Structure 1
Amino acid sequence: MKKYLSLVLFAHSIFALPFAFIGFFLALHTTNHTFDWKLLVLMLVCMVTARNAAMAFNRYLDRDIDILNPRTAMRDIPAGRISARGALLFTIINCVFFVVATYFINSLCFMLSPIALFVVLFYSYTKRITALCHLVLGLGLGLAPVGAYLVVTGQFHIVPVLYGLAVLCWVSGFDIIYALQDEAFDREHKLNSIPVLLGTKGALRFSEILHVCSFIFVLLPVLYMEVGWFYYLGVVFYGSLLIYQHRIVSPTDLSRVDRAFMTTNGIASVIFAVFYLLDIIVL
């Protein structure tokens, strides 16, 4: 189990999971639905299994690329800690658990489950097709608040969609920063990415634009629901951390990319979710 948690980088679940909690409690706060532990557990099962499937499939599909890249050569499959067959089986098992969990939630979630799996699995192919692969990754994680809202209500609403767009822009932006590490390798091996397409300086500028959009999308829900000062404080912290990660990475200094990718973004999502939950408790 420890090997498979390493395979899927389980600690990185912290990126989208806080926004799933936002979508779940948003539904409870703004509708007449009541809290149900079963639904919360099923939502968490869906989040974990979908991400496990996506990460394991990515590692399976990229195994021949990873072994050539010095940065990724020690990942679990190239290093021989997990077999390619084992990673693929792990992917299938998680997909099955995901679909089964949605069956016990509601009919809409069950019907949409193949689409959700297609999005999160298809990302692994996109670097071979388009430089917009980062946006597909963002879309996959952006399903979290929308899906969590559907778990409770079985209906769509504009506010969780806005949070989904915020996640899409946020994740795409920081994935572009992360991809700067592989710009030379990707160009040499004819793989697509924004850094390959636009260069380091252009990629950072595009990432900045996406993060500005993400900030706007976390602010727009105030037009559709009542919020208090905790919410605005969360928005300020979220925006500040987006700015911070762009201050510590520059075209001439990529030494702090890992800090911008993992630490800063993990803190940003958790802090924003905490302030959102505090806001609805106070209201």
Structure 2
Amino acid sequence: MESALAQENGPGIKFRFFWGARMAQGNLKPNRDKAEEKAKEVINLLAGAKRYRSRLNPVGAGKKIVPLFRWCLPPAILSAIVATSLEIWTGQPQKPADGPVLYWAEEILSMAALTLSFLALAVALFLLWWRREGLTENEAHHLRTGYLLHEQQVEAIAVYPLPVLHSVSRYFEHRHLSGMGIHVSFIGWSGLTLPTVALVVTSVKQLSDLHAFGVGKNGDLVSVVWLAIGLLVFISVMMRWFSRKEEYQRGLLADAIAMATERECKAAA
């Protein structure tokens, strides 16, 4: 078409054709830049979106259970980690003959972890039984607060133009899950699996038999096995966290698109 016009009307129309195309590109570029900036703002809002987290609950049994867990569980977890680390470091559980300092440190930390965990659980169960008539109001409080937070985040996203929201949505449809890589291909989408644990433990045992670790005690082997399993559990927990976060972001974006579509339909009516 272009060559036919050039032959019919001379080189002037060919020059005007290319000049018009360049001008059209120049006019489209500012609009494209504005759309990209708005899309970046939407993505920033999605990246900063937060799920509702239970804080100090002003109603029901949760008013006492939430602070109880916050005071008891972190020290219990820390004590258990330190005690386990001491056992891994020394290669075996401590005995009084091995040294009173390490022995009593491990004993005290282990007992503290167990005591705090069982104390928190027992008190929480008692409070739930004692204030059982307020459980419905307690659940309603969490649902109301979570709903309000969700709606605030959706409204903040829905103010952007609908084409921009659809563009970000298409990006999410073709985007791989955050953190996807060796862990997903090795373990699978379902998270930690028993065949994976068996494979890791078997591999560690074979490497130990070949003296690949440079250790010979059975306690060292057990420590390495537990470390391998702990690493798999940690990676699986992080993978689940990435997955749940992205699902929540997709849900926020879908609700924002629905709200923006309803707004434009009302404006067009």
Greater relative contact order, per chain length (Cα 8 Å cut-off, separation 6+): 2
TM-score, structure 2 as length reference? 0.30
| Alignment TM-score, normalising by the size of structure 1 | 0.29
